[in-house]
Amino acid sequence: MRRLILVLLALTMVMGLLGSVSAKEWVEIDEFKIGKVLHMTGDVALTGEKQRKGLELVLDQINAAGGINGVPIKVIYEDDMGTNPGAISALNKLLYDHEVVVTFATVRSTMVHALAPIIQDEEIPAIFGGSAWSLSELRNPWMFRVRCDDRTVGTAMAKFLVEGLGHKKIAALHDSDSFGTGGYQETARALKELYDIEPVTVQKYASGTKDYTAQWMAIRDSGATAVFGWGTRSEDDGIILRQRKELGLDHLDFVGSASYSTQTTRDIAGDTVFGVYSLADFSWTNTDPYQQEHIRQMNEKWGIMPDTDTTWTSTGLIILADAIKRADVLKTENGKHYMRPLEETRRRIRDALRETKDVQTPLGKATCDVWQNMIHSINVIQVDPGPDGERHIQTVTVDFEPYK
């Protein structure tokens, strides 16, 4: 009898210890917090507002369906003020003041470069929209791109200029930041490697420039018949296109990066944007049923059409929510919400993001490749004055090596 009592006491102690360990595995939370470094003030606030609307379209759908495993999702915004120092300050606030679990960085590659060391040091999964190939070369294990990268876009741009439009005398116009420079380099590389063509002139400018007369005059004097443009800010792109027409150079074919077809660019450029070609993340006239439904939802909720600014955040949250579900880091029991310990949660989400495969998004099916890029297709469109606003020329999808 004494032996039986001792055994029962020992079992009780073991069960108590197991219960203690189990309790430590899950932390009670009110909600799962996601950060977003956002352009809220400054002269890029228009694009920031679009990014917020794209994100909240999906966020509201997730929470209306009960959150993730019953846990409500909250997105916390901090203002980057349109500058690299502002972006660093915003991310630090999200990390230390709000203690977010995962975060969205920005769509501006130069800002993402500034944030990358913090993301790596803090080991926080980060979704970003900057497309500069140089960001892939960082090999940051915590960063995941949810747009097509510039190496792919640059090759598609070069092919369209030469094979689609038949040009040989081609000028380059690009922002001097990391995004604009990287995009120019990738397009120039493809022109040289594929067609032995070099730009007849290369013109660059700083973000926020208000007068592009000098650049346009140099392009005119070069004898170019077409221009390819890599612009970081829609606010700049709209002015560039207006001045192109004012200076009588709108007869030159213009093939621009995705920002040249955003709604913000269209609003600023007015009718001077018509006829411009753009390598766009999203096409309004793509007949894919999923994308058409996304257009309907965006119109219904916000009264706007989706574009690069809205779709990268929508796509990012769809991919992130899918990974969080698969990572098994959240649960609800007896009306209470729980999360695994922070470091483990972040690691599990990172690993689940790497395993992303064929997730349907507004930007196409997402699969993580060896560079931790999720999207592998791009649309060539022409901005049009007709009721649809654009003409879909083609969708280019590239081969990639899935993450292993």
Region of residue 33 (phi > 0: left; psi between -120 and 50: alpha; otherwise: beta): beta
Q: Which residues are registered as beta bridge partners of 77?
A: 36
Residue 180 to residue 199: CA distance in whole angstroms: 15
Which residue in this structure is represented by tokens 């940051």? 140
- Assigned domain for 265 exists: yes
Q: What is the structure's pLDDT at 64?
A: 98
What is the number of other CB atoms lying within 10 angstroms of the CB of residue 192?
Answer: 13
Which residue in this structure is represented by tokens 């899918």? 322
Instruction: Kindly state whether residues 326 and 367 are assigned to the same domain.
Output: yes
Cβ neighbours of residue 112 closer than 8 Å, sequence gap 6 or more: 105, 106, 128, 130, 132, 135, 143
Burial 22-38 (b: 16+ CB within 10 A, else e): eeeebeeeeebbbbbbb
Q: Which of 264, 280, 296 is the last residue of a domain?
A: 280
Instruction: Kindly state whether residues 144 and 154 are assigned to the same domain.
Output: no
For the chain, give the number of residues. Answer: 404
Instruction: Kindly state whether residues 39 and 139 are assigned to the same domain.
Output: yes
Torsion of CA 74, 80, 82, 83, to 10 degrees: -150
Instruction: Kindly state whether residues 99 and 155 are assigned to the same domain.
Output: no
Residue 386 to residue 161: CA distance in whole angstroms: 23
- Assigned domain for 227 exists: yes
- Assigned domain for 12 exists: no
Instruction: Kindly state whether residues 212 and 293 are assigned to the same domain.
Output: no
Domain that holds residue 155: 150-280
Q: Which of 280, 301, 316 is the last residue of a domain?
A: 280
Mean pLDDT, 10 residues at a time, over the chain (404 residues)? 48 46 77 98 91 98 98 99 97 98 95 98 98 94 96 93 97 94 95 98 97 98 98 93 98 96 92 96 90 97 94 98 99 98 99 98 97 95 92 88 94
Q: Which of 247, 280, 313 is the last residue of a domain?
A: 280
Q: What is the pTM (predicted TM-score) of this model?
A: 0.84
Q: What is the structure's pLDDT at 18?
A: 44
Instruction: Kindly state whether residues 142 and 291 are assigned to the same domain.
Output: yes
Instruction: Kindly state whether residues 104 and 167 are assigned to the same domain.
Output: no
Instruction: Kindly state whether residues 111 and 37 are assigned to the same domain.
Output: yes
Cβ neighbours of residue 309 closer than 8 Å, sequence gap 6 or more: 47, 50, 51, 54, 107, 234, 262, 263, 264
Q: What is the structure's pLDDT at 3?
A: 52
- Assigned domain for 75 exists: yes
Instruction: Kindly state whether residues 252 and 291 are assigned to the same domain.
Output: no
CATH number for the domain spanning 232: value is 3.40.50.2300
- Assigned domain for 130 exists: yes
Q: What is the structure's pLDDT at 24?
A: 61
- Assigned domain for 398 exists: no
User: Mean pLDDT across the chain, nearest whole number?
Assistant: 93
Cβ neighbours of residue 299 closer than 8 Å, sequence gap 6 or more: 305
- Assigned domain for 22 exists: no
Instruction: Kindly state whether residues 128 and 155 are assigned to the same domain.
Output: no
Instruction: Kindly state whether residues 206 and 308 are assigned to the same domain.
Output: no
Residue 206 to residue 57: CA distance in whole angstroms: 33
Tens digits of residue pLDDT in 216-270: 999 999 999 999 999 989 999 999 999 999 999 999 999 999 999 988 899 999 9
- Assigned domain for 20 exists: no
Instruction: Kindly state whether residues 156 and 253 are assigned to the same domain.
Output: yes
* Number of separate domains in the chain: 2
Q: What is the structure's pLDDT at 137?
A: 95
